[in-house]
Structure 1
Amino acid sequence: MGTALVTGASAGLGLEFAWQLATARHDLVLVARDAERLTRLARQLEAAAGVHAEVLVADLATREGVDRVAERLRSDERPVGLLVNNAGHGLGQRFVGGDLAKEEQALDVMVRAVLVLSHAAAGAMVARGRGAVLNVASVAALLAGGTYSAHKAWVRTFTEGLAVELAGTGVTATALCPGLTHTEFHAREGLDVSSLPEVAWLDAEDVVARALADVRRGLVVSTPSLRYQALSAALRVTPRWVVRAVGRRRLGLRR
């Protein structure tokens, strides 16, 4: 069935990707920083689904960690047929006056790691004539929501460009652009989302199922749920000054 490598596999969407891929009989390479959580997950997946789950502990905010994962993607031993660039980094701060080191870590995890790992995976996959890269972006890519929106806009545009370059090679690239999704991500990052209405939220199971179905179809941009598809369509034609005004209101700015 092939091997899938999932970054940020110990929690949130990454954890859901790991379970759904294992259920579909894919062997796995699980990447995250927490060795204990990864090892426990690997044992659970192997026992429940009968697949092989390899643990690869790496901090994608470091060059060493990214290079370790890139080396695994280039390996011919149990070659990776699907890369899921899912690892995220919450910010929970404004850019001006915020912790610059935290901003740099987020950039490394959500931009640089996606770049390096996509390069490693696509090169190996093109040589074999098959494979897929799934990069997790966000509907936030269409907003003016600080550096997080900027990172996700980069992921979306980068993935679209990669898809163009890969056309005809047997390898595909898909950008997943979900809206708000129920996971433990927000709690772990200390983000207060209690004021957001329930209708705004998606279930992680549905988001991942839709993403994997769209990868199988070779879709370039995957936006789960009709309401977020409608919102994305509206945002693409909304004047940017309106989008910026919404961003200012969310930050409580007067100008």
Structure 2
Amino acid sequence: MSKKIADEITVDEALCLLFRHKAAAISLCLNESSFYVRQEELIAAMERGFGGSPLGHWLKSSHRCASEADDFSPNESVVLVEGTSCRLVKVSELKGAIADEDHSAWVNLPFPLIHRNAAGEISTNSVARDLLEGESIPPSLLDQALKDKEALCVVNGRSFLLRHLGHGYFTLEEIDEEVELAQEIIWQAAVGKALLKRLEQEGVKVKQFPNKDFPSSDLDGELVLCSWGDIPLGYLLIEFQDRR
């Protein structure tokens, strides 16, 4: 076939290929993303009038998301489209080729990466291993990051943000400083609430004025500036009983 199959083969022709080879799906790569299209998807596309449309055009116009070989049984076969040719391959063979290709690509990236494959096996690149000092991330935290897009984890007393990147890949970001700052803010807030409650128990009136609401009139009490670092946040007006 002289034309570029991936770009020009129609939905009808793709379906014929699947029936001819008794394959579970047709696999092709568009814009560096892999697509695995099953027979039922092609039939549905035909019913919607896309039978004569190029397969690549239909995938783009339908906003079809990229997919993975992990969605198929290892014993299933797919028609693999490569340039101007196509061939029938077992999914197990395809997964092996993808794994070899992925392994050589991601392990050398200069940022921490963790990968969990379809079998649940977890591997890390050297940057992640150094960051974790040889420790591992519990699978339950990977599950949480997979569900919520990210998860907070503590390893050897250090705090990390675990983010799911997609396709079984996760990245790590050390956030010790951010966690310490958050803990300091929580502590300061708790101290402030405790002092405020204690003052009120002693009959001292305390009024809060955000920075934008600075009182301009004469005040009966002591005005205390509240700030975080160099940033003014507002004022407290403290009215002691003995000053009334």
- TM-score w.r.t. structure 2 length? 0.24
More helix by share: 1
Structure of higher CA gyration radius: 2
> Which protein has greater RCO, CA pairs closer than 8 Å, 6+ apart?
1
